[in-house]
A and B are shown apart, each in its own frame.
Chain A
Amino acid sequence: MTIHLKIWRQKDKNSPGKLVDYTVDDANPDMSFLELLDWLNERLMNEGREPVEFDHDCREGICGSCNLVLNGMAHGPMQGTAVCQLHMRKYKDGDTIVVEPWRAKAFPMIKDLVVDRSAFDRIMAAGGYISVNTGAPADANAIPVDKYNADQAFDYAACIGCGACVAACPNSSASLFTGAKISQLAHLPQGDPERNRRVVNMVDQMAEEGFGDCSNYAECEAVCPAEISITSIAKMRREYFNALSEIE
Chain B
Amino acid sequence: MSKAATFLNSQVGRKIATGVTGFGLVLFIIVHLLGNLAYFAGAEAINTYSHTLHQLGPLLWIVRLGLLAFFLYHAWLGVSIWLERRRARPEKYEVYASRGGASRQSWSSSSMVLTGILLFLFVITHLNTFAFHDFATITYGGVEMHDVHARLTEVFLQPLYTVYYVVIMVLLGMHLRHGVWSAFQSLGWMSRKTNPIIYSIAFVLALIIAIGFIGLPLSIYFQLV
Binding site for B on A (CB under 8 A): 6, 8, 19, 69, 71-74, 77, 79, 98, 100, 103-106, 168, 170-173, 175, 200, 203-204, 206-207, 210-219, 221-223, 229-231, 233-238, 240-241, 244, 247
Contact = CB atoms under 8 A, between A and B. Distances in A.
23 contacts: A72-B96, A100-B94, A103-B89, A103-B92, A105-B88, A105-B89, A168-B99, A171-B88, A206-B11, A210-B88, A212-B85, A212-B88, A213-B15, A214-B11, A214-B15, A215-B182, A216-B15, A216-B178, A223-B99, A229-B192, A230-B195, A234-B190, A241-B12
A234 B103 contact: no
B85 A170 contact: yes
A212 B190 CA distance: 22
A204 B12 CA distance: 9
Interface residues of B, number: 47
B99 A222 contact: yes
B33 interface: no
Nearest to B179: A216
Contacts of A173: 11, 88
A7 to B, nearest CB: 11
Interface string B174-191: 000010011001111111
Given A215-B109, A237-B15, A73 B182 contact: no
A59 B30 CA distance: 53
A171 B81 contact: yes
B160 interface: no
A106 B10 contact: no
Contact of A230 (B89, B110, B187, B190): B190
Contacts of B97: 71-73
Nearest to B90: A105
A216 B188 CA distance: 11
Nearest to B181: A216
Contacts of B94: 6, 8, 19, 98, 100
